Structure 1
Amino acid sequence: MQPQVKPRNPNFSSGPCSKRPGYDLTKLDVSTLGRSHRSTIGKAALQRACEDTAAILGLPDGYRVGVVPGSDTGAVEMAMWSLLGARAVDILQWESFGKGWLSDATKELKLVVNAHEADYGLLPDLSKVNFENDVIFTWNGTTSGVKVPNGDWIPDNRAGLTICDATSAVFAMEMPWEKLDVITFSWQKVLGGEGAHGMLILSPRAVERLETYKPSWPMPKLFRMTSGGKLSEGIFKGDTINTPSMLAVADYLDALDWVKAIGGVKETIARSNANLAVLEKFVAETSWINFLPQTPETRSNTSVCLTLDATPEQVKTMVKLLDKEGVAYDIGAYRDAPAGLRIWCGATVEQADLDALMPWLNWAYQEATKAA
């Protein structure tokens, strides 16, 4: 029978993700709207975005945080174009975004790359990564639901830089910052912020590379992080390369204030883990659904990807039914991934909404497959 209780918030999209509980657009501090981002008030808001991010995440001393254009993609591309070429490069890819970084390194920058690849649901062999080289990888594959289990495979005494696309991991997973030289993420993921802006975090080792190495290719203005051979420190103090949306900045500051109010990043991690547990219980009790990740330790607690004993058309029918009923929006698998569901379980999602969703998955599955 059709369930009676619906999630209060049916937004389970993997990006842009659900707004935080209690979000109220009218409560944002909009004092910066209509003001220059280079005004005292505008720059102060951007600087607070950088400083609060560093403080809440507990970044090591010397790590710099900057707001950059182009969301997470822009942040990764800035790092690749600015830092790569000094050493050989190892790139890991097991889902669509890692595949994109591999393509850009080989086809656009024309670097010789050691590629470590795996199919959706799997990780490459991490033991084969050569840390004499620069290494690029995603911490959590948003389109596959597969994450690296930890940072133990990254040596402390590595020669190359580690460049980590962590857009659906930061604020939801434990991150070994000292093992990461470049970390990128976007506001629209775990904190439910707005798109178009990325966060770029640099270690002192990454800064040293920027100041001692100049790539052989022309550098687009949006990617330039040095001037006269020195780091443009202003980027990491609120002096952005281009004009940001001050409304999106106010929205991000609201999300950061919420994180502080609920107990910090430990609580956002705990919320994501509790949300994943709802899916784990359902999968354990249900015969027709499984996780796309092949091992529990690589299972994402944000972009949870699921496979079904159903045809791709039946899965599409399920997704449409749940959307029509106002139960779950935007939960179809990523277009390049195997047919299935992708349910966002990041910190802004309430566990009670996932509890309410589970019976509806059963109902939609039965409806979609009953004619088979």
Structure 2
Amino acid sequence: MITFYPGPSKVYDEVGQYLQEAVDSGVISANHRSAAFMQMLEDAIRNLKTKLNVPDAYEVYFVSSATECWEIIAESLISDGSLHIYNGAFGEKWMEYTQKLTGSARPYSFETNNEPLLKDEIQPARNEIICVTHNETSNGTALTAEFLNTIHDQSDNIIAVDATSSMAGVELPWLSADVWYGSVQKCFGLPSGMGVMIVSPKAVERAIAIGNRAHYNSLLFIRDNFLKFQTPYTPNTLGIYLMGKVMQQVASIETVAQKTLERAQDWYSFLPKHGYQLLVENEAVRSKTVVALRDTKERIASIKKAALQEGIVLGNGYGKDKETSFRIANFPAITDMEIQTLKDFLVFFSSK
């Protein structure tokens, strides 16, 4: 079975080998206060920062999921409120969950084919955290680096970014934001069950100023442990081991991102030529890692059913486009041969 589902998605082929190595090494049976575990964690963080070009001063934490990061941000970094800028289901869910926790989340939504404009109504208040979704997995859109740079340059606010379906697949403008988070089951090419949170010195200062230590997963408690290459609770040891191995294996993010871009450009050229309608018409806001297509409810169902019969899993639509779209993951672990297999199927189906 070949999967193009946009998360959990395909893992790197080498992961099977790494799983056996993890068992043989005994490290996944080591307790999380042992020297063996601490060395493994240190290696995983170093490999990640090196391959993704994360600034030296930024800190990396491994948590349970990207969704947990919503809670960490709300409880540890928000004092006066948050401004959420989004155009899809996951950005909206982040806002709604933050509102439940803080009661002070302010939404600003924009349309799928638009770029958000820094108008008066979305200017943040002094201490509001600005929350944006870099790559909206639900509809295949993405914010430009220029937009993030503009927000950073025009405000002194803490900026938090959901990069769940773009981290490790494209180059990210790290210095334009203070909190980046994602999950490993997408562009990292790893099994699900772990999140990555990357924070700037400015975000750490805000957490210290707020001083919230009332929660087991407060950012300060997490940080206290990670500075010692430990974790506050029993971690996903296997996930950390696999992260270190995969980050050691992959090319630099510049190389990975170039391949992601070339594949995305190819998909966006190929699909319309064969009668498929792109969900995102505005080329400037199309995601490079999640390609979304639209059609009638009946035809979408037929495409997915026929693909499955050929051993190909396509991504369902999501949110308001659930029944009238499907999504194709363009993640680094997917091979050229698998992409060609999907292309051959799509050509065949369009000719019926």
Instruction: Provide TM-score, normalisation by structure 2.
Output: 0.89
Taking the aligned partners of 1:127 and 1:239, their CA distance within structure 2 comes to 44
Deviates further, 121-130 or 142-151: 121-130
Alignment correspondent of 1:11? 3
Taking the aligned partners of 2:57 and 2:154, their CA distance within structure 1 comes to 18
Alignment correspondent of 2:342? 357
Alignment correspondent of 1:212? 209
Alignment correspondent of 2:71? 77
Q: State the 1:365 CA deviation.
A: 4.5
Whether 1:337 aligns to 2:331 is: no
Q: State the 1:34 CA deviation.
A: 1.6
Alignment correspondent of 2:41? 46
- Percent sequence identity is 22
Task: Confirm or deny: 8 A CA contact 2:141 2:286 kept in the other structure.
Answer: yes
Task: Confirm or deny: 8 A CA contact 1:275 1:354 kept in the other structure.
Answer: no
Q: State the 1:16 CA deviation.
A: 1.4
- Call closer, same or farther: CA 1:195–1:22 in 2, change over 3 Å: closer
Deviates further, 336-345 or 90-99: 336-345
Alignment correspondent of 2:231? 240
Whether 1:106 aligns to 2:99 is: yes
Q: State the 1:122 CA deviation.
A: 4.2
Aligned length: 343
Whether 1:264 aligns to 2:259 is: no
Taking the aligned partners of 1:236 and 1:119, their CA distance within structure 2 comes to 41
Partner deviation per Cα, 1:278-316 (whole Å, 9 max, x = no partner): 2112134133x22222311211111111113xx212211
Alignment correspondent of 1:4? none
Task: Confirm or deny: 8 A CA contact 2:89 2:319 kept in the other structure.
Answer: no
Task: Confirm or deny: 8 A CA contact 1:16 1:195 kept in the other structure.
Answer: yes
- Call closer, same or farther: CA 1:88–1:279 in 2, change over 3 Å: same
Instruction: Provide TM-score, normalisation by structure 1.
Output: 0.85
The answer for unaligned runs of 5 or more in structure 2 is: none
2:156 maps to a residue whose letter is A
- Call closer, same or farther: CA 1:342–1:88 in 2, change over 3 Å: same
Return the structure number with greater helix share: 2
Q: State the 1:210 CA deviation.
A: 0.8
Whether 1:273 aligns to 2:261 is: yes
Q: State the 1:56 CA deviation.
A: 1.7
Taking the aligned partners of 2:21 and 2:257, their CA distance within structure 1 comes to 24
Q: For 1:36, which of 12, 15, 31 is the aligned residue?
A: 31
Taking the aligned partners of 1:237 and 1:294, their CA distance within structure 2 comes to 48
The answer for unaligned runs of 5 or more in structure 1 is: 1-8, 368-372
Alignment correspondent of 1:283? 271
Alignment correspondent of 1:115? 107
Task: Confirm or deny: 8 A CA contact 1:188 1:194 kept in the other structure.
Answer: yes
Taking the aligned partners of 1:355 and 1:189, their CA distance within structure 2 comes to 20
2:71 maps to a residue whose letter is E
Taking the aligned partners of 2:118 and 2:6, their CA distance within structure 1 comes to 26
Taking the aligned partners of 1:107 and 1:120, their CA distance within structure 2 comes to 25
